[in-house]
Amino acid sequence: MSSDRGRNEPWKAVQASTLAELFEWYDERYPGLEMGAGARPAIVVIDFSIGFTRGSAEFSAGQYPDEVRATRRLLDAARGRIPVYFTTIAYDPDMKDAGLWFCKLARINALQKGSREVEIDEDLAPQADEPLIVKKYPSAFYGTGFEAMLRRDNVDTLIITGCTTSSCVRATTVDSMQRGFRTLLAADAISDITPLLHAIHLRDLGARYADVKNVDELVTYVGSVGDWGWRSAGRAAEIAALAPERDLS
């Protein structure tokens, strides 16, 4: 491989003053078209687990208290009306299930099954009938039963909250759109390790892959949704069959 770091690191040639130009370019190129919301939405909360929201000696957290509170407000409006799902990242002790991602991101070694870091933040008060998708990679869809759960609940719109905008939120957003789900990003319930990463990726996702809404708009939206019969007697059994990995002990 070439050792020419100048060619391998072109971002070093870009000056910070060009950020305003980047957003101006988005405003000119993308006129703000929307895919719109459907009649059968669900919420997925991406990786608001203790490791990410509160951290530990082994895993440094982001600063997401406002986003967690905004997510809880949305959940309070949505519970009993539409499906709610959570995701967490959790690995076996030998990390063999982390694949090549572990080569690039060694810190995920702290996200072990059975550890407090992988538990969903208690401020969100996850309910017993809200599936927990245990994932190994950024997207909630990759290598999980998540899409099958959405299909069985007859969902047509996915509302996304959580972290981080540039990684797991981004991957889930693109995969959601590609699978035919109308995708809404709860802007004030999503965040990243740095405000700059969050701003750039949220602007890009909103330009090309999803509609960006605030929690006030989404609370009104979920409050207007009628019941389409997603709460079936067999739902718990289906969840267990589709996501046997959800036991994190």
Q: Which residue among the candidates 90, 168, 169, 187 is catalytic per the annotation?
A: 168
Angle between helices 195-208 and 168-178 (to 10 degrees): 10
- Per the annotation, the verdict on 163 as an active-site residue is no
Residue with tokens 């370019």: 25
CA 7 vs CA 1, 4, 14, 104: distances in Å: 12, 6, 13, 20
Contact indicator for 176, 138 with CB cutoff of 8 Å: no
Phi then psi for residue 159, to 5 deg, are -95, 125
CA 117 vs CA 4, 12, 131, 146, 169: distances in Å: 39, 34, 18, 22, 19
Residues forming a β-bridge with 136: none
In whole angstroms, give the CA distance from residue 85 to residue 32.
28
In whole angstroms, give the CA distance from residue 243 to residue 148.
10
In whole angstroms, give the CA distance from residue 161 to residue 187.
8
Chain centroid to CA 22: how far? Answer: 24
**What does the DSSP assignment read for 201-215?**
HHHHHHHHT-EEE-H
Q: Which residues are catalytic?
A: 168
